[in-house]
Amino acid sequence: MLVRLGGAVSRFPHALVVAEIRLAIDRARSIVLSNGVEHPIEDTVTAALSSLTQHSLRRVINATGVVLHTNLGRAPLGPLTPLTGYSNLEYDLASGKRGKRDAHLSPLLERLLGRPAIAVNNGAAALYLALHELAAGHEVIVSRGELIEIGDGFRIPDIMRSSGAILVEVGTTNRTRIGDYRDAITDRTRLLLRVHPSNFHISGFTGRPYLAELATLGRERNIPVYEDLGSGCFVDLHPFGITEPLIQQSLDAGVDLVSCSGDKLLGGPQAGILAGNPELIARIRRNPMFRALRLDKLITQTLENTLRQLLLENWESIPAIRMIRMTPDEIRARAERLLTAGAELQPGESVIGGGSTPDQSIPTWLIAIAHPNVVAAEKRLRSRPVPVIARIEDDKLLLDLRTVFPEDEDELRAALSELAPTN
């Protein structure tokens, strides 16, 4: 087969062009054999090479009103210039000797939580590491009502088993009593585990022990109590309509070890935080898997910045917290400035998302567009150079400015103007 390509591909390495030609020929052959219709090889190769010059990971405008949108990177990050060149990631500038990368995060975490703490690369890793160090080959007692799936098919029982811990289920799906934990304790029990159901809610005839009760039982039997809080709430959000337990409250209730995510209500990058009893934290840090699960320098820098803003209570510098604190009146004023022909305002609800605060929402105002082809309009928005992600509801295109950065309003205005009907 003779393939003739234009001069546009001359900027690509010869080996790459040859590889793409071979891929295109193989694809065309399989399509022809299945009685399909294939585009010319030359067009396929040119398009494939061109796509390789485009970044796959791109900035988008989130107009869905979901603050911690899992598909859009969960907690949005504020401006941060990555350190270029070298850094003192594991170098003690004062002594001139090797240091630990914990030094950039642990002092901030300890000031925020009042306990020693370490960070790994995500919440599931924190859970795995704690169980692997503290309970591998031994029993961990957990309520049946807390054996949750955390997303993408990953389930707490599976993570527990892979850590080497032996799962001991107590109670029922809807009710577990302190006596259930007490009766299940054996000489092989190493942890009492509480998992916060941050991504679902069960109502009705339900019940489980208070944390203080569980902590008291743990002290009586000399067994650590470990709580996986998931959402990682460091800031009291009750005044803004969000009820979520604080990390500090669990530690104050007597829990020996707490873990949470960094990219949910903490408002930072993907990470997993472990905080609590100094001896337990020291043991976990010495576990060989800690090195495999540690943070890299970019996440360390980003998380350090987020923790520092939390400590200094600079809420406006943490986008997720800033968005949650916005009032409906503030959002309505912004939305009114962006209204175009064919659009109107209507009251609505924003949600936190990201496996946090189920069944809780925040009042907002929405830009609603009744477009003749709302599906095509939604696709047109997300096909822009800076994609705009909206949602469809009741045959209307809805946009919530709670999750739109103010600096993106001009881009959003231009996108909406393109959807406005023309006379």
pLDDT at site 21:
86
Calpha distance 323→325 (Å, rounded): 5
Class of domain 91-314: alpha beta
pTM score: 0.90
Q: Which range among 146-160, 233-247, 400-414 shows the weakest confidence by mean pLDDT?
A: 146-160
Q: Can you tell me which residue has the tokens 């949108």? A: 69
pLDDT at site 149:
73
Is the domain spanning 61-73+320-419 CATH 3.40.630.10? The answer is: no
Q: How far is CA 112 from CA 1, 130, 231, 269, 276, in A?
A: 67, 21, 16, 17, 12
Distance, C-alpha 419 to centroid of its chain: 31
Q: Phi-psi category of 230—alpha, beta or left, where left has phi over 0 and alpha has psi -120 to 50? A: left
pLDDT in tens, 317-340: 999 999 999 999 999 999 999 998
pLDDT at site 252:
95
Are 217 and 211 spatial neighbours (Cβ–Cβ below 8 Å)? Answer: no
Percent of the chain with pLDDT over 70: 92
pLDDT at site 423:
54
Average pLDDT of 218-225? 97
Calpha distance 75→299 (Å, rounded): 13
Give residue limits of the domains in the chain: 9-51, 61-73+320-419, 91-314
pLDDT in tens, 21-30: 888 888 888 7
In this prediction, residue 39 has a pLDDT band, given cuts at 50, 70 and 90, of: low
pLDDT at site 355:
63
pLDDT at site 341:
81
pLDDT in tens, 61-118: 999 999 999 999 999 999 999 999 999 999 999 999 999 999 999 999 999 999 999 9
pLDDT in tens, 356-396: 666 689 999 999 999 889 999 999 999 999 999 999 999 99
Calpha distance 109→275 (Å, rounded): 8
pLDDT in tens, 279-297: 999 999 999 999 999 999 9
Amino acid at 37: V
Average pLDDT of 136-159? 83
